[in-house]
Amino acid sequence: MRPLALPLSALGLCCAALPALAQSPTSDLNRINDSLIRQQENRTIQQQQIGDSNLSRMQNQRQIQDQPVRTGPGAGYPVR
């Protein structure tokens, strides 16, 4: 019976602490909620910027692919 006494007393302490955790002030919850909203807004802006950058890079790559390849004499020199 001695081994059960220790876990039951520990369980009693945990259960006694639960009501104290459940009674957090509303202002703390509002602050947490506001913080989560700001984090989501920042992630949304970052994802939009990454998407715009990727789109621009893909368009540039397509323009380069659409240019005709110069061959023959002077192909390695810029056109004037």
Higher pLDDT: 2 or 32? It is: 32
* Residue 6 lies inside a defined structural domain of this protein: no
Distances (CA, A) of 54 to 41, 48, 61, 63: 20, 10, 11, 14
Q: What's the pLDDT band for 1 if we cut at 50, 70, 90?
A: very low
* pTM summary value: 0.48
* Residue 14 lies inside a defined structural domain of this protein: no
Distances (CA, A) of 79 to 60, 61, 70, 71, 73: 19, 20, 10, 12, 12
* Residue 40 lies inside a defined structural domain of this protein: yes
> How wide is the angle at C-alpha 56 spanned by C-alphas 54 and 62, nearest 5°?
100
pLDDT one-digit tens code per residue, 43-63: 999 999 999 999 999 999 888
Question: Residue holding tokens 């007393």?
Answer: 9
* Residue 48 belongs to domain spanning: 35-59
Q: Indicate the number of domains in the chain.
A: 1
